[in-house]
Structure 1
Amino acid sequence: MTITDFLAPQHVVLDVRLPDKRRLLEDLARRAAATLALDAGLVRGALEAREALGSTGVGGGIALPHARLAQVRRPSGLMLRLRPGIAYEAIDEKPVDLVFLLLIPAETPSEPLNALACVARRLRDPGLVAALRQIRDPAAFYARLTDGR
């Protein structure tokens, strides 16, 4: 599985300004709901329920909010770069500026975990993360994220 299996180029949004984590989750829910023809409140509730279990801020300015939804048939992603970063209750307590939302089907146990692991592996590369913070064009950002060049 690769990121291109669940992230389309048009789902990369750069330099979004949001004041806090709550507004970020609302924005992610609204964007994902529009893409997948779902109710934004349903998506937001699922994201908030997941965050209540523990922050998805993995450190290094990166957050991987995700949720399982019965209405989702296959993994679906959305990538945002925030300017400036926001407090997110990340494990290292640093502000988050790179956010990869992943919505996954509720019923299939392994495929969704593979999608999340795929994103986590890519965003563990410090060189890639540094490049993603500098790229100005969403198409170039997508290309770098998905193929490493």
Structure 2
Amino acid sequence: MSVLSLFTEETIFNPLKVRSKKQLLVKLSDLAAVKTGLKSSDIFQALIDREKLGSTALGHGVAIPHLSVKDCPSVSVFLAILDKPISFDAIDGQPIDVVVFLLAPEDKNGLHLRTMSKISRLLRDEDFCLRLRGAGDPAATLAVLFDREEQNKSFKLRA
């Protein structure tokens, strides 16, 4: 399975309108709750607790908030391209506008880490991120992801 196959038009939000880190985390929690059946408030609190350990912003306008959660049914990823960059306590001090939220079952830590590693490597490509930012809607964003997958077969995951 390819890590990029985890994305669907229903898990891509482009553009997403939020004005703060907290508002973004609330929105991601709500979206994840709908897909997973978990409580939004529990996801939000886990995200807040994770961010207290250190910002999940990679720099260059990209963040990958991620969690392993008890009772999570499967690995889920959500991609948001923000309509305007927001402060996210990034190490480079830059605001973020590309966000991938990864939510995984607590008992699948290895899969969680492999998925995060592949997504992180993908999002370090500034040209690719520019294409995501310019996509404009979920369908076009998904097309950018699939085009990237065709170019590079190294996004395969082992169970």
TM-score by length of 1: 0.94
Aligned counterparts, 1:27-106, within 5 A: 27-106=27-106
Tell me which stretches of 4 or more aligned residues in structure 1 moved more than 2 Å: 1-9
Unaligned runs of 5+ in 2: 152-159
Which residue identity is paired with 1:56?
T
TM-score by length of 2: 0.88
Q: Residue in 1 aligned with 2:157?
A: none
Q: Secondary structure at the match of 1:102?
A: strand
Unaligned runs of 5+ in 1: none
* Greater helix fraction, Structure 1 or Structure 2: 2
Q: Residue in 1 aligned with 2:142?
A: 142
Tell me if structure 2 keeps the 8 A contact 1:71–1:105. yes
Which residue identity is paired with 1:69?
V
Distance in 2, Cα, partners of 1:12 & 1:80? 6
Q: Secondary structure at the match of 2:26?
A: helix
Q: How many residues align?
A: 149
Does residue 115 (structure 1) correspond to residue 108 (structure 2)? The answer is: no
Distance in 2, Cα, partners of 1:96 & 1:52? 17
Q: Secondary structure at the match of 2:107?
A: coil
* Deviation of 1:5 (Å): 4.2
Identity of aligned residues (%): 32
